[in-house]
Every structure is written in C-alpha cells, then in structure tokens.
Structure 1
Amino acid sequence: MKTRVTLKNYLTLPEGFYTVAPNLVYIVRGNTRRFVFRYMLNGKRYDKAIGSVSKVDLTQAKNTAKEFLGKLAAGESLLKTKKEKLEEEYLKDDTPLFKRFADQTLEKIKDVKCWLNEKTYTNMVKYFDTYVYPVIGNKRIDEIKRMDVLAVLQPIWITKNETAQKIRTRLENILAYAVNDGYLEFNCALWKGNLDQYLPPPSKVRTVQHYTSMPFEELQEKIGLFLPTNNRTRQIIVFTILTACRVGETSGAKWSEFDFENNIWSIPPERRKDGKPYPHRVPLSRQALEVLKSIERTSEFVFAINGEEGSKYSLTTMFKRMTGTNATMHGFRSTFRDWAAENEINDSVAEKCLMHSAGNAVVQAYQRSDLLELRRPVMQAWADAVLALQPHGQLSEPV
C-alpha cells in the first residue's frame, strides 16, 4: 500500500521515494529530504530539483509542481541553471542499478506475498542470477525498456517457457515498484497489450510434461526390490508409495507429526503444496506403521541422514536405477489414482487422499471435512494391494 505524504508526516517518513502529486516526488535519503519535479520530454526522463525541506515545505512544493506543469503544457522549456544541472546529475548518479533495485524488491515481495516456502525465494534469486542479471543487471533501473525485458525472455521463452513465465511475473512485480517510486513511467514487463505483441502465448509453446508413472501390476512386482526396508532410501521410498504422498512431504517428516495412538500423520501447513493453513491428516496403514517402527530415532527427522533432513531430489534417480525403469516417485500418485478409479473409490475420497481439492468452488465451500475416516480403509486397501505379491502381504516375513 502506497504511503500518502501529508503535512503531518512528511518530515518523519523513512528513507524512500514517495509520489506526492502528479510529477512531484519526495525523496528521503539518509539525512536529506528533498522535492523533485519529474517529467518526460521526447521519451527521456528529467529531474528538476525544487528544493530541500529546509527551504521548501510541502505546500510550496505542490504549488511549484503545478507551475512547472503549466509551463510544460504551454510549451515552455524548464531551463536549468548550472546549479540545477549539477543537482540533476547528482540525482541520476544515485539511481540504483537494476540488480540492486531488484534484490531489494524481491525481499519486499517475499514479505508482502507472505511466501511460506523459503525455496520460492531462493529459486527466484537463482533464476535472476542465471537469466536476468547477466543481461540487464548493470543497467540503471530508470533505463529499463521493453527491449531489455525481451532480451531476457526471448532466449528462453520457447525452450524453458515455465521458467520464463515465472521470471516475467517477477519482473512485472519489480517494475511495478519502479513505477511507484518514480523511476519509470510504464511497466514494460506487462503481458497484455505489451509483451503479448512480441512473444507467442504460453499455451502455444508450453509442453506439459507429466510425471512418468508405473503401471499398478508392475509396481506390485517392483516393490519387492525395496524389501526389507533396512536403509533410509528403501524406507522413504516405500513409505511415500504407501501413503501416496509427495516426496517433499515425506522427506521433511518429523516424529512430532505422528500420532501413533490414532495412527495419523499430520503434515504441517508449511509443507502443504496447496497452501492451506492447517495440517493435512494422513491415515496410516499397518504397513506404513511397520516402516516407521523399523526406523531408529536418531534425529527429529524421521528419514534423517546424519541427523539432517533427507534430500528429496536424489530419490527418483535412485529409484530409476534400482528398478531399471523411467518411473518417477511423483508418478506413484498417478498410479494410486488409477488404482482408485479401477476399484470404484469415491472421487472425493480419492482426491482427499492425494491432498487435492475435489469439486468446484461451491462443492469445496460446503465440503469442509477431510474425510479422514473414509480414507482409512482406502489407504489400508492400497497398501494391501501394493504388497499383495509379497509373502503374507507384509514388508517382511512374520516372526
């Protein structure tokens, strides 16, 4: 929300750039507070100093700005004295480079948007370091044009469209701040009526890559490769399959999230992909509990490696190597969904098992239950089916 500059607060506002009135900017930098009249002439931005607060108050600055606007409207030139030219150069020299402005603004966006996952921020910083800063990082923020944004996006728009779209969205966010701070007159990262005239629509170039899933019958055969569950890799792979959860949900699991009295695992909001502000409850089958009971508690993390949270990124690679297939860990969620459909599991129940929202907005508004007790027999039936080819349908031989 933009801060309104008033007679009561303009002498105490924190450091920053504030739009006071049309073309009138109030700049607070360190111990200096000054009014500047900004205007465009022949496509170029000019800054004309009005004065510091020690010489000009807010009312006088507004009146001066109106006077300057009148002169421009009448076609008069706002002639600069030598002192004014030096002042203009001083203001320009202090204009930040795009990289510095973007770094600071990404921090603001993270706080304003309330990003719950720190990786959202770190990934965006990585994207900017790789694709944006090498192209326009050393340009002044007030010099950024549409051609600069296109120079960033065009090389990756076709080959890495999903990444390019994320970058464009963040560029639009950042340049919106630049417009509000008076550096730019127009947000040149906007899509509609701007970049859409130069780049093909995402729907025409983006290829949706679905995760490779394993047919259910093959899963029944391959699951034996991970039994007994006597190491961390086997434990997390089997547990993830039996719970039909995402690897990112299981890799960060903590012992404190498990209610062994009621056989429930509560995945906290910060690991929910759907962003819901409450835990997602997973009913645990006998076999999933058996995996947990086979793990020695050496850390707060269930699947800890050297006391730290296990990595989710290497599991698919290891799974492919161990099974000799191209199936991914995430693909087992599709395998579960296909199995549920073939066994006539209620759609709403099946979707709740996958932490998906079922039905349209009206249905979701009325269906607030997580259907936990309806999901219990489904998850048990899933575990029994997955292990049906194993001796006694268990993870190991009974003692």
Structure 2
Amino acid sequence: MPKIAQELGALQVKRLTHGTVKKAGKGKKVGDPIPALHAVGGVKGLCLHCRPPKGPEAIGARSWILRITVGDKRTDLGLGSYPEVPLAMAREKARELRYRVQFEGYDPIAGKRAAKSALIAERAQQRTFGDVAQQYFEKKCLEFSGKNPEKQRRRLEQHLEDYCLPELGNILMSDLEPRHVVQALNPIWMEKTPTAERVRITIYNVCEMVRHDGILRNGLNPAHWRGNLENFLASPAAIHDEEHQPTVGYEGLPRFWMRLQERDAIPARALEFQILTVARPGEVRFAEWSEIDFKERVWTVPGWKLKGRRDKRQNHRVPLTDRAIEILKMMPRDNGTYIFPGYRGKETMSENALNLTVKEIHEADIKAGGLGFLDPETGKVATAHGMRAAFKDWATEVGNVEDYVSELALSHIDTSSTRAAYKRGQLIPKRRKLMKAFEKYLSSLSRSEKVSKK
C-alpha cells in the first residue's frame, strides 16, 4: 500500500528548503546543495520543489508541483511559486485538478497546449501589416545573396517604407482587403508600372507569411492578381512597354570597336571583354580569377551570379576568344579576387563604369566629326548592355547559326531547345566558332585600316 504523506502545516512548509548530497559522485561532493521535492500531504501528490539558493540568498526558489497520473503516464504539473501561492491555495488547486482528471477525463497537458495555441492565435489576430512586413524584411535579409545583397536589402526597404507602410502599415492583417492594396498601388501604377508591380509582389509575399495561419480574410491573399486585383488595376503589359537597352546596331559595331581599342583604361578593356563574351555588364564587373580556365579557354559564371536563373546551381560556361585571353593576361593580378578592379584601390569597378566608357567614346566621336553611337530606333546613346542586342542581331542576320546557339551565348535558357542544349554541355564547340567569327567581324574595320596604311 502506497505511503501517505504527513499533512504539514503552514509553518512547517515555510521551513522546507533544498537538500544536500549524502554520497559523493558525478562531480558532487558530500554537503553540496541540490534540489529537493517535499511531499506536504493533504492532497495526494502535492509537493514543494525547493532549489538551492543563487548568490547570497538564504533560501532558493520554491514552487508547487502536483505529481499525478494522466492516462497511463505520470506527469508533474506546476501550480505556481511559493509563497506567492500559499499552502491552502495550492491544496485547493491540487484537489480541483485531481477531481477533473479522475472524474471528468480532463487532460491538463492538452489543456495547456490548447490555451497556448489560443493565446498565439489571439496575438496573431492583432498583428498589423507593419509587424509582418518587418518579419518578412528580416527573413529576406538573411536570404539575399549574389553580387550585391546590400543593394537588394536597400531596394526592399525602400519599397516597404515608400509604398507599402504609409498606406498599409497600421492595418490589421485580419482586416486587410484588396481595396487597401489598390489604394497603396494606385499612385504609382500608371507612372511607375514596373516598380508598382514589384511592390505588389512584395505585398503579396508579406501576406503569404500569414495566409496559412488563417488570419487573412476568407483565407485569400489580397494582393493576388488573377481574379482579384486584375479587376481593379490595368494590366501592366497593356500600360507599359518594356524599354530595351539602347544599342549601336550591329552595323556600327566595327567602328565602335576601333574607337574602343584606342582607349587605354581598365573599364575600356572590361567593355571589350564584355562585348567579346556577350555577358551582362554586372557579370563582367564581378568576374573572378577563380572562374577562368586558361587551359580550356573557358570562363565559368556561377549560377547565382546570373540574372533570372531559377536553378542557381546551373553555371554558364563562356568560350574565350584570342582577344579575350589577351585582355585577361593584360590585367594586374596583385592577389585580388576580381579581374577588373576599380579606381583608388576599390575591388570592383563602379556600376556605371562601362556605360560611362560608351558615353565617352560617343562624345569623342561626335567631337571628331563622327555620328556618334546612337540607337537607330530611339536615338539614345548606346549602353554596355545594349551590345548584347547588337550581337543577337548580327548572329541572326550574318552569323548563320541556329537561334538557340546565339541564345545560349547570351545565357538565355527560356526555351525547351536551349534548356536541352544546356544539358548536352552548352554547345561549347559551336559557340566557340560563333564567338571567333564575331571577334573577326568586330575587328574588320581595324584590319582594313591597317591594310590601307600599308
């Protein structure tokens, strides 16, 4: 028959304290203080848990424990701290719990979990868009990678602070409706359509963080486009024509190439390298020596550096022509990471270095009595990125290659044929032949001038 604990009085309970080690072992010495659990009687399983004091206190923390069997499992339930919860109150709470468990089938552990879940749900209902947006911002900052995570962070911060929070910040997520999103987007939807669409996606992503918590009204994301915002806002495709980067047109490339080679500066060599590899300017700015294989004459651009690449593990291999290799050998190594360093000891060139070089060549040509280098359709000064379009036009009209080969050269894998080619090894031999022909075309005017001088 189980032993029944003696029923202690209030004064006896007050004197209860922690225990001490009776037998040395496991790093403990005889007399060392240890926690103790004292049965106080009056209600089966009611105990006072006494911990050793921390610091100069004479008595450590003490709390009530009800040791009880729920189903077939023994459980220790906390009933509060002593003396905040006095002996009489602890016994009353213990009796009530025992009765509910024994006669009503109450599960105190499940009850606590349910109460905790209800509290979490109640607090979640009180979260504003601003609260969730802050959580989303912190999450994205941990995920940003690539060439310039700080720039990504600043852009997201600007979208939230300038376009989202002023209109939506104080609205409860449970009250957020499509009309609120429309009110936030309306001021910029017509004038800054690309930015407005990115802001809409940001709002959508913030709402997605709580959609599965059952907080959003009707369980629907208020920033969803199809069947929702499309009923209130004009289609971005209908109101905004994407403006392509100005290009010189492939017919003007040889003359531009000749002017480019007259310049003696690292940005000029970087621009040459970009044209010869038809890479994006950012990929050239952040090109690293470790990505160059001189033996195979290949530059491997990591997938995470490539624009719009869903599979960041899928690298892009670029065959290097004779002039591209020559440019690389001209660059100072100095144990630096990047191939094309910036001025004044900076690791990389500035974001506008290549475009500025194009602009300077254009202005110098105008000054020398030339026509400059303008986009034949828009009349705007060409850009470094626009050289890719000039290559594409040349490859289509002069290069005599299949379309997917030139698309692979541009690191476009939007079609089934280019994706299949990637799996077959990226068609390096075909692309090497194409880029060699392109280099020959670029330098055609320079060669003809050399011949005429002879």
1:212 touches 1:327 (CA, 8 Å); kept in 2?
yes
Confirm whether residue 221 of structure 1 aligns to residue 255 of structure 2.
Answer: yes
Gaps of 5+ in 2: 1-107, 364-373, 375-380
> Counterpart amino acid of 1:315?
L
| 1:173-194 CA distance string (max 9 Å, x none) | 2112233334332422122232
Confirm whether residue 206 of structure 1 aligns to residue 240 of structure 2.
Answer: yes
**Counterparts of 2:211 and 2:166, CA distance in 1:** 23
In the superposition, relative to structure 1, how do residues 60 and 346 fare at CA in structure 2: closer, same or farther (>3 Å)?
A: closer
Q: 1:288 aligns with which of 324, 335, 345?
A: 324
Q: 1:336 aligns with which of 388, 391, 402?
A: 391
**Counterparts of 2:124 and 2:288, CA distance in 1:** 52
**Counterparts of 2:429 and 2:300, CA distance in 1:** 14
Confirm whether residue 311 of structure 1 aligns to residue 350 of structure 2.
Answer: yes
| 1:135-162 CA distance string (max 9 Å, x none) | 2224443443322211211111112222
> What is the percentage of aligned positions where both structures have the same residue?
28
Confirm whether residue 190 of structure 1 aligns to residue 221 of structure 2.
Answer: no
The alpha-carbon deviation at position 240 of structure 1 amounts to: 0.6
> Counterpart amino acid of 2:338?
F
Confirm whether residue 104 of structure 1 aligns to residue 118 of structure 2.
Answer: no
User: What is the 5 A alignment of 1:31-50?
Assistant: none
2:125 touches 2:173 (CA, 8 Å); kept in 1?
no
The alpha-carbon deviation at position 229 of structure 1 amounts to: 5.3
Confirm whether residue 388 of structure 1 aligns to residue 444 of structure 2.
Answer: yes
2:283 touches 2:301 (CA, 8 Å); kept in 1?
yes
**Counterparts of 2:449 and 2:132, CA distance in 1:** 60
User: What is the 5 A alignment of 1:70-219?
Assistant: 95-108=126-139, 118=149, 119-186=151-218, 187-219=221-253
- Secondary structure of the corresponding residue to residue 281 of structure 1: strand
**Counterparts of 1:93 and 1:261, CA distance in 2:** 59
1:229 touches 1:291 (CA, 8 Å); kept in 2?
no
**Counterparts of 1:190 and 1:97, CA distance in 2:** 19
- Secondary structure of the corresponding residue to residue 164 of structure 1: helix
1:223 touches 1:387 (CA, 8 Å); kept in 2?
yes
**Counterparts of 1:269 and 1:210, CA distance in 2:** 24
In the superposition, relative to structure 1, how do residues 142 and 313 fare at CA in structure 2: closer, same or farther (>3 Å)?
A: farther
**Residue range with higher mean Cα deviation, 227-236 or 153-162:** 227-236
**Residue range with higher mean Cα deviation, 301-310 or 244-253:** 301-310
In the superposition, relative to structure 1, how do residues 115 and 252 fare at CA in structure 2: closer, same or farther (>3 Å)?
A: closer
CA RMSD for the aligned pairs? 3.4
2:412 touches 2:418 (CA, 8 Å); kept in 1?
no
> Counterpart amino acid of 2:362?
T
1:387 touches 1:393 (CA, 8 Å); kept in 2?
no
How high is the TM-score relative to the length of structure 2?
0.62
- Secondary structure of the corresponding residue to residue 390 of structure 1: helix
**Counterparts of 1:378 and 1:288, CA distance in 2:** 14
Q: 1:372 aligns with which of 428, 432, 437?
A: 428
In the superposition, relative to structure 1, how do residues 96 and 57 fare at CA in structure 2: closer, same or farther (>3 Å)?
A: closer
1:253 touches 1:302 (CA, 8 Å); kept in 2?
yes
- Secondary structure of the corresponding residue to residue 317 of structure 2: strand
Give the number of the structure whose alpha-carbon radius of gyration is greater.
Answer: 2
- Secondary structure of the corresponding residue to residue 226 of structure 2: coil
- Secondary structure of the corresponding residue to residue 282 of structure 1: strand
- Secondary structure of the corresponding residue to residue 389 of structure 1: helix
How high is the TM-score relative to the length of structure 1?
0.70
1:225 touches 1:323 (CA, 8 Å); kept in 2?
no
- Secondary structure of the corresponding residue to residue 56 of structure 1: helix
**Residue range with higher mean Cα deviation, 117-126 or 222-231:** 117-126
The alpha-carbon deviation at position 224 of structure 1 amounts to: 2.5
The alpha-carbon deviation at position 301 of structure 1 amounts to: 0.5
**Counterparts of 2:297 and 2:449, CA distance in 1:** 20
The alpha-carbon deviation at position 204 of structure 1 amounts to: 1.4
